[in-house]
Every structure is written in structure tokens, then in C-alpha cells.
Amino acid sequence: MKNRQLGRSNPLEVSAIGLGCMGMSFSYGPPKDKQEMISLLRAAVDHGITFFDTAEVYGPFTNEELVGEALEPYRGKVVIATKFGFDLSGSDNRPGASGLNSKPVHIKEAVEASLKRLSVETIDLLYQHRVDPNVPIEDVAGAVKELIQAGKVKHFGLSEAGANTIRRAHAVQPLTALQSEYSLWTRTPEKEVIPTLEELGIGLVPYSPLGKGFLTGKIDENAKFDSSDFRSTLPRFTPEALKANQLLIDLLGSIAQRKNTTPAQIALAWLLAQKPWIVPIPGTTKLSRLEENIGAINVELTADDLREIDFAASKIPVQGARYPERLERMTGL
């Protein structure tokens, strides 16, 4: 496994590909078997992955507990990232159902609870999950700065934040990473966010680097999603959108065939080739997929390959919004 560095002022070294753990407990159908997921998380470590991503809202709470238990034998050898920022005080614990809460007092309460669930003394990387328009980002960054000074947090990050918010937060407490959706079918960060990160020396951690499974080539317009699978609510996963977006899969498939690899590996290799400080975190609940994703590190895309992908992808307009309007309003602030 190769390593990459997130952040310039206070660098964090992690495996070049991390593991998104959300789907083990949340969002992609019913929670998976706990012991099977513990085995998978430990297999990831054995395969060289040192970077694991969770959040208090995944479950809620149960994903942090799972990650904490599974990775307890590897304390000091792995990096665990978690997130705060949703209001989980109501009876409906769906992300955003009760709104956002990044008040400094709430951040500190959330961190104490996450530390217990993860069974750690310090959180390696703490993200604000979504920008809270009711709390100045300077206050959020100041609260995390105090947690860093207290030894409860090592690194600060934001998720789905816009360029101006990134600059304001970074001025108070330097950011190590931004986590945002970025892939061949979600390229919004390229316009303003990625240049800002490069200027300030902040790493990028793309979530959903395989388009929530779509870029694996295993999903077409006939796919059926369980009501507990949040893709059933996404405009981009309607049969019509899936059919229209199949052109992107055809592109990945043709290049994969030429390279004797898979569409998923091409999609991940493309991300890795964009910047040396990009670390994607594909999620999976299957060992075979984990191994496939890790294999992307060894896929070489030449400058000609990258030009070909960009040229062809630019002619394929992606159909469907990323999120329903309620959730889309929480991104890019």
C-alpha cells in the first residue's frame, strides 16, 4: 500500500485509499452483520489500509461503535476520522431531519461521546459534517482549536464546504482535509474548491468516489433499491437517470477492457491521478470489493489516458441531481 499526505501545515499520513464505513451500519439497506463487518475492517488493515471514515450520525452512533471495537487492536497504527454537526436530539434521526447543530457547546459534547464510542483518547481527524448557516464558521473552528489544544482532537476538517467557508475556517484553525463528493460524475469541486485547497495546502478526501456504486458498472436502469437504501430517494438513481448516465459506464468499461482492469478501478485511478493529496474513501461491505478497490493503486493512467477520459466525459451530461433539494441545500456553503 502506498501512502499519501493530507494537509501541509500539520500533515497527516494515511493510506492512498481509505475505507468509508457508513454502509456497514446505515443508508445502504439494513445494517450488516456486526461480526462480518469487524472481520472486514480488520482485513482492510491487513491489506494496508490505515484510514477509516465514520460519523456520529451513521446509525446514528452504531457505526462509531463498530469501528471503535474493530480497530481497537490497532490503536496508534490507524487513522480514524469522524464527524459532528447534525442535530440528533429529535425522535427522527435521519441526517438533517432535525437540522444542523454546530454550536461550540454541542461540538464539545459530540466529541466526548465520539471518543467513548470509538474507545480512543484522541480523534485523529474531526470534520464538521455540514456547514451550519446559523453558526459562524469562525466559532466552529475556534471550538475545534480548543479541542486540539486539549488533546482531544489532532486534525480539523470540513465536509461539503465552499471555498469562502474553507478560507474563513482555515484562518482560525488550519484545516488538514476537506471531505466532499468527487468522482467522474460529480466534478463540482474542480471549479473553485480544488484550487482553494491547493493554494492553502489542504487535502481532499472524496466520498462516494464510485458514485454510490454506479461507477462500478453493476447498476443499470433495472436496479431496485430497498426503502432502507437511501439511493431510492436520489434523483440520480431514477431509472431514467440511470439509463441516461450509462454512457459514463460505457466509457469506463472501454478503458478498463484495454487496461485489463475494472470500471471501478479506472474511476478510482482517475481520482488518484488528479492530485497527490487526494485520498478517496470508497465504502464496501464485501472483501472482494475491498480488494478490487485497493487494486486501483496499481492502475497506471497515462497523460493520454487522462485526456481521453476528460474529453469523452465532457460530452456526457450527467442526468439527475445528487440529492433531494432538502439535502442539496446543505452542501457547498
Which residues are known catalytic residues? 58
The contacts of residue 185 (CB under 8 Å, 6+ apart) are: 211, 214, 215, 236, 245, 248, 318
CA 226-214-188 angle, to 5 degrees, is 115
Beta-carbon neighbour count of residue 92 at 10 Å? 8
Beta-carbon neighbour count of residue 76 at 10 Å? 5
Beta-carbon neighbour count of residue 130 at 10 Å? 25
CA 19-129-31 angle, to 5 degrees, is 50
Beta-carbon neighbour count of residue 242 at 10 Å? 20
Task: Order across the sheet with 203-207: list the strands.
Answer: 19-20, 51-53, 79-84, 123-128, 153-159, 177-181, 203-207
Alpha helix stretches (DSSP H) within 47-103: 62-71
Q: Which residues pair with 122 in a beta bridge?
A: none
Using alpha carbons, select from 128, 168, 131, 171 the residue that is nearest to residue 147. Answer: 128
